Structure 1
Amino acid sequence: MNALIRPHPFAFPDAALDDLRQRLANSRWPDRETVDDWSQGAPLAKLQSLCEYWRTGYDWRACEARLNTFDPSMTHIDGLNIHFLHLRSPEPGARPLVLTHGWPGSVLEFLDVARLLADPRAHGGDPKDAFHVVMPTLPGFGLSEKPTRPGWTPERIARAWVVLMERLGYPAFLAQGGDWGYSVTNALGAIGAPVVQAVHFNMFPITEEQSAVDAAETHALKRLRAFKDNESGYQAQQIQSPQTIGYALTDSPVGQAAWFYEKYEVWTDHDGDPEHTLSRDQMLDNISLYWLTATAASSARIYWENSRSFKEQPIAVPVGVSQFPRDIHESSRRWVLERYPTLVHYKQVAKGGHFSAWEQPVLFADELRASFCHSRDGNRD
């Protein structure tokens, strides 16, 4: 192992878990919503049930043990400690791949799909489609260090990922991302060859300024308007006052749970209950990670940073896009091609939402294999 990389397993003290349970026991609840749906936010009864399970039935140590099977490590890059998971493939021809999460996500989204990607032979796949999978945590999220000064933009994070991959022995690699992972992966794609060989996105942001030429594109613009009108309050808050919302979420586990639980309801592809797509344990794994690392404010600051600096870059290397049906943005092939003429793979996937790797790991893995197969073989869909 590179001397600049050191093991850093997940091991939160018992006192932190005891404090969490005590805070949950002492929660002060608001009155019930005046509607019978989620239109005013997470319903009181649903959230109380989730938090009671968090207090009395949930096992963080099981999540911790699972995370620690992925070689959790830390390295210092550009003045900051960056935490990451790493799963090497047993296949000698495996290609290195970095997966970048977003908000309110984490590396937990990728645990199932990482095993499918690293060892396709063990899951009935073609060993030619194997990847060495690297899953870094964004600065200010999880166990990565919290920046103490502004400036950790998606472009700077992308440059840090290049250093990370080089330290792991991967001077050339593939990159994938959605949500904030889209912004970081766009910056990686702009760095391009010979370092970044191809990129894949599971989210392609659109704007209301785009023109629609058919019913599907018209529907996509209506979906975007509905998001801005009814679902984007968190975004405005975190762009304008990430520190202010951080006080509430860092002090109250119920507040942290509600802030995320609503997103699981709105952004996952479910049958009417988000817990039928992501289990309570999966939700609480992610909520607990943010709670235990006290990263509500530091993770929200990426919205503040991005609103002041990010500019989407052109990409010359092969691009793949997978459109999952319940995501925030619904992009057409035409819209993607307008911005990325090097598009080699585009597919509208049958099922999945904003957390597609977490919700549908098999479909997500299939999409990455197809996309990076095209970039490897020089063909297009």
Structure 2
Amino acid sequence: MDIQPFTIAIPQADVDDLADRLARTRWPASLPGDGWSRGVPLEFLRELADYWATRYDWRAAEARLNALGQFTTEIDGQRIHFTHVRSERPDALALLITHGYPSSFVEFTALIEHLRRDFHVVAPSVPGFGFSTPVRATGWAMGRTARAWAELMRRLGYDRYGTHGGDIGAGLAGEVASVDGAHVVGVHVVTDPLTAANTATFLPGLADGLDPADPTDRLILDRMDRFRREGSGYLAIQNSRPQTIGYLLNDSPVGQLGWIAEKFEEWTDLPYDRDQLLTNVSLYWFTGSGVTAAGFLYEQTHAMGWTPPAAVPHGFAVFGADPTVRRVINPSADTYWAEYPRGLHFPAMEAPEVLAADLRTFFGKVSAS
């Protein structure tokens, strides 16, 4: 049950090996004028890989992450890594924030700086991601992870806390409240039109009431169809054969780079910090967590159901907002709902100031109620 301070210190031999592998990349052929229609364009990835190899500074990123405060503990036989930043305000609310895929706690570095005045921030790495490795057993899906998060907050001494996340982190924010509702004061999640449509593709019942003759519903159905045809390949592989794709992700840094960078290009509409993206990719590479992160998606696909929603306040921050999101989610009248015109799937990187302000507003309302 001990919580141990943790220092990120990747051996220099591993840093040198990455540079060597990048220099020896065997690049594939590509067809002229293809753009993104067949996947990540060759010119885009070559330029990004060259920047990673020659100008990106891992040691500077490592120092910034260590300055936040890194820790590990063992819960249910699994090593759990987390960032823990205490507010200068002793009475500040604790806030548990969880990343999604293909992301990591690195996504929250800028956001934490905007939150630390008002919240005690805890940002764990999902089992199989980053330093929450190696994964020692099967079964680490949403439910087991949520119970581990509740235990982590208990160990840290937080009797009252909020949860937040997007993507996988959104599901975990709700699951933690379901398993620890006596201590969770509110659940705040981020979403966007693409995520809402993609979620409707997989979660039973969400699309049942959609009317093809309605313009808003037609837009949702078209997005769902496009995701099935063009955007769901990565999920199909990782939900069924994570070990097979894992050989590529573990042996080729350019393979891991392309697998992640594609999603950041597709799922953002505001500029994000390229060095922050490469820190995220480097974390996957140095920890060998491409295969185990994919394995988390596999475990969730094969998990048994969801815990019933908790009766605590829920809030949604919609980025790149349009009417389709509210139509899919259909929140109750007392649900907190905020819409922002720009940003998409990674608002903690695209618009950290906006997201931080929304978190303060939602949890301010929760605390006042």
TM value normalised by structure 1: 0.88
Per the TM alignment, residue 108 of structure 1 is displaced from its structure 2 partner at its CA by 0.9
Cα deviation, 1:159-217, whole Å, max 9, x if unaligned, reads: 11111111111022110111111221121121253211110111353346242475444
Return closer, same or farther for 1:33/1:87 CA change in 2, 3 Å cut-off. farther
- 1:150 matches 2:150: no
In 2, are the aligned partners of 1:324 and 1:356 still within 8 Å (CA)?
yes
Residue 146 of structure 1 and its aligned partner are, at CA, apart by 2.5
What is residue 163 of structure 1 aligned with on the other side?
151
Partner deviation per Cα, 1:265-296 (whole Å, 9 max, x = no partner)? 111114xxxxxx12321221111110010111
Equivalence for 1:325:
320
Q: CA 1:283 to 1:33, structure 2 compared with 1: closer, same or farther past 3 Å? A: farther
Q: Per the alignment, do residues 135 and 163 of structure 1 end up closer, same or farther by CA in structure 2, a change over 3 Å counting?
A: same
Match of 2:28 in 1: 30
- Which ranges of structure 1 fall in alignment gaps of 5 or more residues? 120-129, 271-276
Provide the residue aligned with 1:122 in structure 2: none
Give the secondary-structure state (helix, strand or coil) at the position aligned to 2:302.
Answer: helix
Give the Å deviation of 1:4: 0.9
- 2:244 maps to 244
Structure 1 counterpart of 2:312, one-letter code? V
Aligned to 1:303: 297
In structure 2, the residue matched to 1:349 is 340
Structure-2 residue corresponding to 1:273:
none
Displacement, 1:21? 0.4
Counterpart amino acid of residue 159 in structure 2: P
Matches within 5 A, 1:92-171: 92-119=90-117, 130-171=118-159
Q: Deviations over 1:292-342 (max 9, x none)?
A: 101110000111111111534322100001111289x952067332xxx48
CA change 1:131–1:221 in 2 (3 A) is: farther
Structure 2 residue runs without a partner (length 5+): none
In the aligned structure 2, how far is the partner of 1:44 from the partner of 1:94?
Answer: 48
Q: What is the one-letter code of the residue matched to 1:323?
A: V
- Shift in alpha-carbon separation, 1:353–1:106, aligned structure 2, 3 A: same
Q: What count of residue pairs does the alignment treat as equivalent?
A: 356
**Quick one: which of 294, 300, 306 aligns to 2:288?**
294
| Alignment-derived partner of residue 373 in structure 1 | 364
| Distance (Å, rounded) in 1 between the aligned partners of 2:19 and 2:321 | 34
Question: Is contact 1:192–1:317 with CA below 8 Å preserved after alignment?
Answer: no
**More displaced 10-residue stretch of structure 1: 364-373 or 219-228:** 219-228
Q: Separation in 1 of the partners of 2:69 and 2:28?
A: 42
Q: What corresponds to 2:3 in structure 1? A: 5
1:316 aligned partner: 311
* 8 A contact 2:321–2:341 mirrored in 1: no
Report the AA paired with residue 199 of structure 1. Answer: V
CA contact (8 A) 2:133 2:289 kept: no
Amino acid at match of 2:303: S
1:172 aligns with 2:160: yes
TM-score, length basis structure 2: 0.91
The sequence identity of aligned pairs, in percent, is: 41
The change in CA–CA distance for 1:115 and 1:330 in structure 2 (over 3 A counts) is farther
Give 1:278's match in structure 2, choosing from 272, 276, 294: 272
Aligned-pair distance for 1:55? 1.0
Alignment equivalent of 1:18, drawn from 2, 16, 19? 16
Amino acid aligned to 2:38: Q
| Equivalences for residues 77-92 of structure 1 within 5 A | 77-92=75-90
Residue 43 of structure 2 corresponds to 45
RMSD: 2.0
State the alpha-carbon separation in 1 of the partners of residues 317 and 351 from structure 2: 12
- The change in CA–CA distance for 1:343 and 1:290 in structure 2 (over 3 A counts) is farther
Structure 1 range deviating more: 349-358 or 288-297: 349-358
Distance 2:324 2:260 in 1: 22
Describe the SS at the equivalent of 2:335.
strand
CA contact 2:72–2:79 (8 Å) conserved in 1: yes
